[in-house]
Structure 1
Amino acid sequence: MTHTLPDLGPNRPLTLPPQAEKTLANGLTVIAIRRAAVPLVEVRLRVPFAGADLARSALLANTLFSGTAELTTVQIAAELQAVGGALGAGVDPDRAMISGNSLASGLDRLMEILAQVLTGATYPDSEVETERARLVDRIQIAQSQPSHLARVALLKRMYGDHPYAVQTPSVAQAQAVDRDQLLGLHGARLHPFGAHLILVGDLDPEKVIEVAERRLGDWTGNGDPVELPPTPALVPGPLLLADRPDSVQSSLRIALPAVPRKHPDHAALQLANLVFGGYFSSRWVENIREDKGYTYGPHSLIDHSIAGSALLVSAEVATEVTAPALVETLYELGRIATTPVEAAELEQARQYALGTLQLGMSTQSGLAGLASTYAGYGLRLDFLAEHSARLAEASVADVASAAEKYLGPAKGVVVVLGDAKVVQESVSAIAPVTVQAASPE
């Protein structure tokens, strides 16, 4: 006996939770969102950090909570634990991000500790020394990994002289960082003007903004955020073969043009990417994973940064199938760029995109992550409702147009990391090739 699954119901408009927003006198924008699923609050503080020294930024993030004039690193951890909380920091080419959470009843204390760190982190020499050694170890480990080497080669090929071209510090740069440099970077860049504080959870939005203002209103700093120039347009050319002698696998990387979230083509391009290779049921995954078994986890995504966006395609394949896997990848890009998608596969991708969006907003942590990410681009949660509507309305013609504009293989740059003496001849039959030694930096 068989049963037919019912048709999917109509797409529902995205419902936004209650929220409030205020920009404080010091330039910090506080966004509070009520999501009372559990008695917790998620905290995200996003501070513009573009153009900051890579090694100093990484070490600052690792030592930010290592002590203040009032508390040692052990005491900070104990105080946070007492309110069911935690705080940590990280950096990327655009921002410094402090993330954490606490019981709703402990938010005031967590905010007090955060304020002490932001206004008086001391970066003790002993902690700096320990974390500097760990950072050096992490860099050295990364430099031995194919994924890192492929990323280094791709970023340089994409961005040329733009600051995004190098996103990992060298070992020598990390070893040279000292406490005084961290204090200087903190004072110069970790300030509230242009920063966004996101609070999501079991809270009254208006009242929690008052808490944030009381605790962080005295956080000050001078200087405007650094604005990076727009990323350069991709310049198609020969395939770059980054030689990694005796490698048993090849890393395939392709970068294609993309558009920022505010662009009218963004929703249609997102759907086109999903149909191509952006999720498990995509054409490319079906081709080189399910049908041919060339790789386990091929994936494509739209990577957004403040200065520009790109669509990135990546796969790891055995050395002996490097050329066939590249052929199939370029074929699938060409197919979606020249032939309209089927209505059924578009609808499947649409449901995946809408479902992922709903799922991302269903938890406090997910909602905080979305809100903080969009805030950095000058967007708010109402953009998600608008984007959801555009995803629901995008037609086959819209998606075909976006695919034609952005996904044609001739529009992109291709990097292959692998053993040149084994794969150069076969990939040269596909496209002109430039060979260079794989570089860890």
Structure 2
Amino acid sequence: MKMFLAFAAATAALATGIAAVPQTVAAKEAPPAPGPARPFTLPQMTTYSLPNGMHVTLIPYGNVPKATILASVYTGNIDDGGNVWLSDMTGALMEKGAAGHDASQLADLAAGMGGSLSLSNGLNITTASMDVLSEDAPQAIGLIADLLQRPDFKPDQLEKVRADLMRNLSVAKSSPNAIARDAFSKTLYPGHPYGQTFPTKEQLAGYTLDQIKAFHAANFGAARTHFYVVGHFDAAAVRAGIEKAFGGWKAGPAPTSLPVPASPDPKVVLLDRPGAPQSMVLIGERVEKPGANVDFKAASTLLGGYFSSRITRNIREDKGYTYSPRASVADRVEGAFWVESAAVTAQSTGPAISEIYKEIRRMQDEPPTAAEVQGIKNYMNGTFVIGLSSRGGMANSLSSLDLLGLGADYMNSYVGKVSALTAADLQNAVKRELPLDKMNVVVLGPLDSVRPQLEKVPEIASKLPE
């Protein structure tokens, strides 16, 4: 009891003290307004080409004695030719061994240089990269050359790779998000590699070692490769290392150009998932290549591209329909797209779609506020510069932009272009790129309860499949 009374007295005294604090402490000052964005300029770079056509970019960056090395080969699913994931299988088998070194030995060699060796596949690009101590940069260049030019393609590793990809396929095909995105890609890019997300199990089971070797021989070469070194390095030693490692590589063909077909008529695709508590919703359409169109990227960000975006505030914060709505612009060499995606509660599927349409229409009808525009400009410029603050970020960003035909000029002008945007620019970008009657909609959910909701959404009711 004594302890209780002592505690009560102390609590009362503390409360009395707290109550008096606001009377004696000055009000908290508002933080200063952010200053204008500073122009961004890339460090001085050196670009040149080898006689076999391989492009090289060297960028001195920072004082830490490390260098990021990145080789971008312009091949990927675009070259599958209907054999979906053949490029993925080729890349996965390349990582299993090269120049007589198995995967474990390759990892040990890379670790001895202070880094690791990785290879990744995409739609139009395959990249091999390392981040190593500066003194080991020439040796690392040689290891990447072995990986790209001299993969072992051992038969005993093929089935291990196949089993891994089979597991990946099974996991992806069980994911509502992946299933919905597969349907969305097929709707936007019918008959094109961009629309072929998954192979069949029969396809994956049937790919042979000869097919993989043929894919590598046909698609990996100097003329399709851009080599980057970013960081603190001996330029003369690096140039000599590149010439030694890649000077004798065959040129091979130019990168594949496979234009996408004209945009098809917009569709509403319904996929049944009986009993599901949520619906996966994707709404979007093809857009112009947005790389140079910072006005549309800004408009997309304001609509749904960051946490304080309009759609996020509407259907997450105000309505509680979903936890993680997100708008994104997907750059593609042959054709980009915009999409708003959200996993919404099943009973709110129709209302959520209505609110997404409402926010797009509102931005078309009236310009955003000055505060919204300034906030977007600060956000975009900040994330852009932060993304280039590391060696890897610099190398990967420049590689992606070179793939799209934008390159260093885009990076140097980005902050200035974003800073010059106006409210009218964002409004006009949404009018130009997102006509409401061109939207494609994919809904994966319990259709017995969801379809009646969709029939009440005027923008899509007439497009519902029978």
- SS of the equivalent of 2:168 reads helix
Query: Offset at 1:105?
Result: 1.4
- SS of the equivalent of 1:434 reads coil
Cα distance in 1, alignment partners of residues 44 and 253 from structure 2:
33
Specify which of 225, 233, 240 is matched with residue 263 of structure 2.
Answer: 233
2:20 corresponding residue in structure 1 = none
Cα distance in 1, alignment partners of residues 401 and 153 from structure 2:
31
Q: Is the 8 A contact 1:231 1:307 kept in 2?
A: no
Cα distance in 2, alignment partners of residues 7 and 282 from structure 1:
21
Q: Is the 8 A contact 2:132 2:140 kept in 1?
A: yes
Cα distance in 1, alignment partners of residues 142 and 212 from structure 2:
22
Cα distance in 2, alignment partners of residues 293 and 90 from structure 1:
37
Q: Is the 8 A contact 1:196 1:376 kept in 2?
A: no
Deviates more, 1:325-334 or 1:208-217: 208-217
1:51 corresponding residue in structure 2 = 79
Query: Offset at 1:382?
Result: 2.6
- SS of the equivalent of 1:18 reads coil
2:45 corresponding residue in structure 1 = 19
Specify which of 441, 457, 462 is matched with residue 414 of structure 1.
Answer: 441
Amino acid aligned to 1:86: S
Query: Offset at 1:21?
Result: 0.8
Give % identity. Answer: 28
Cα distance in 1, alignment partners of residues 412 and 426 from structure 2:
20
Q: Is the 8 A contact 2:129 2:144 kept in 1?
A: no
- SS of the equivalent of 2:258 reads coil
Cα distance in 1, alignment partners of residues 306 and 145 from structure 2:
41
Specify which of 412, 421, 431 is matched with residue 385 of structure 1.
Answer: 412
1:224 corresponding residue in structure 2 = 254
Deviates more, 1:254-263 or 1:9-18: 254-263
Cα distance in 2, alignment partners of residues 323 and 37 from structure 1:
55
- SS of the equivalent of 1:46 reads strand
Gaps of at least 5 residues in structure 2 are: 1-26
5 Å-filtered alignment, 1:145-294, equals 145-205=175-235, 207-233=237-263, 235-237=265-267, 239-261=268-290, 263=292, 266-294=293-321
Structure with bigger RCO (C-alpha 8 Å, 6+ apart): 1
Query: How many pairs align?
Result: 433
Question: Greater CA radius of gyration, 1 or 2?
Answer: 2
Query: Is 1:334 aligned to 2:358, yes or no?
Result: no
Specify which of 126, 136, 147 is matched with residue 106 of structure 1.
Answer: 136
- SS of the equivalent of 1:310 reads strand
Q: TM-score, normalised by structure 2?
A: 0.89
- Cα distance, 1:269–1:231 mapped onto 2, change above 3 Å: farther
Gaps of at least 5 residues in structure 1 are: 437-441
Cα distance in 1, alignment partners of residues 217 and 132 from structure 2:
27
Specify which of 297, 308, 320 is matched with residue 347 of structure 2.
Answer: 320
1:41 corresponding residue in structure 2 = 67
- SS of the equivalent of 1:316 reads strand
Cα distance in 2, alignment partners of residues 127 and 113 from structure 1:
20
Runs of 4+ aligned structure 1 residues displaced above 4 Å come to 204-207
Deviation readout 1:405-432 (Å, 9 max, x if unpaired): 1234223211111111110111111122
1:439 corresponding residue in structure 2 = none
- SS of the equivalent of 2:351 reads helix
